[in-house]
Amino acid sequence: MNEIDLNHLRRAINLASSAREKGNHPFGSLLVDENGIALVEAENTNVTESDLTAHAEMNLVRMAARKYSLDVLARSTLYSSTEPCVMCAGAIYWAHIGRVVYALSQQSLSEMAGSERGPLSCRDVLTQVEVIGPAMEEEARTVHEEFWKP
């Protein structure tokens, strides 16, 4: 993890904040090529699109797969404000994305949201993908503050 990774994670957190401002759950992600250039950005749109599968990472994978070859995706890094859920991890796996870096862990999110379901790690699915995180958990928590309270 380096300063470039941290800057991209901050962008993912900003995207999560934007999603929240639009009435969606606070999650954001971006895909960056091997040269550090952002290729695609996405926010969670599950509320505004009435689609429970419209997580930021799912939206990103759909857009990226339409625009880029598997070879480009394999050399890219997906940055996420929060550890991808197992559904999103499956999409990342099938898209052949080579690296995932996330800010907030599923464990921390589960605790904040008061989830009765135990968190599942994306590492359980992404066994052939480099996964780095959690990183910047305190900064990533801010976008979730007060969101998950009834």
Q: How many residues does this entry show for the chain? A: 150
For the stretch 15-30, what's the b/e string if a residue is b when 16 or more beta carbons lie within 10 angstroms of its beta carbon? bbbbbbeeebbbbbbb
Q: Are 81 and 102 in contact (CB under 8 A)?
A: yes
Measured distance CA(135)–CA(137) in Å, rounded: 6
Name the strand (E) or helix (H) holding 82. strand 77-82
Measured distance CA(36)–CA(51) in Å, rounded: 31
Q: Are 55 and 80 in contact (CB under 8 A)?
A: no
State phi, psi for 101 to the nearest 5 degrees: -130, 130
Give the active site residues: 57
Q: Are 101 and 5 in contact (CB under 8 A)?
A: yes
